[in-house]
Amino acid sequence: MARNIYVVPYQPEWPTLFKKEQDALTQALTTNNLVQIIHIGSTSVPNLTAKPIIDMLLVVKDIEALDKENTVFTNLGYLPHGEFGIPKRRYYAKGGDNRTHQIHAFQMDNLYEIGRHVMVRDYLRNNKDALRRYADIKTKGAALYPHDIEGYCDFKDAFVKQLEKNAIEWHWKQH
The answer, yes or no, to whether residue 1 has pLDDT greater than 70, is no
- Spatial contact of 54 and 40, defined as CB atoms under 8 Å apart: no
Q: pTM of the entire structure?
A: 0.94
- Helix residue ranges, H only, the chain: 14-28, 63-66, 70-75, 111-126, 128-144, 149-174
1: in domain: no
Does residue 67 sit within a domain? yes
Instruction: Report how far apart, in Å, the C-alpha atoms of 173 and of each of 62, 68, 130, 167 are.
Output: 31, 40, 17, 10
d(CA 146, CA 27): 37
For all residues of the chain together, what is the average pLDDT? 95
Domain of 118 in residue numbering reads as 14-174
Mean local confidence (pLDDT), 138-148: 96
Residue 5 lies in a domain: no
| Residue spans of alpha helices (H) in 7-66 | 14-28, 63-66
CA atoms within 13 A on the CB side of 46: 4
Question: What does the pLDDT look like over 86-124, one tens digit per residue?
Answer: 999 999 999 988 899 999 999 999 999 999 999 999 999
Count of structural domains, the chain:
1
Whether 139 shows a pLDDT value over 90: the answer reads: yes
**Distance spanning both ends of the chain, measured CA to CA:** 45
Assign residue 21 the CATH number of its domain. 3.30.460.10
Tally of CB atoms within 10 A around 162: 12
pLDDT band, residue 43 (cuts 50/70/90): very high
Task: Look at residue 4 and tell me if it is in a domain.
Answer: no
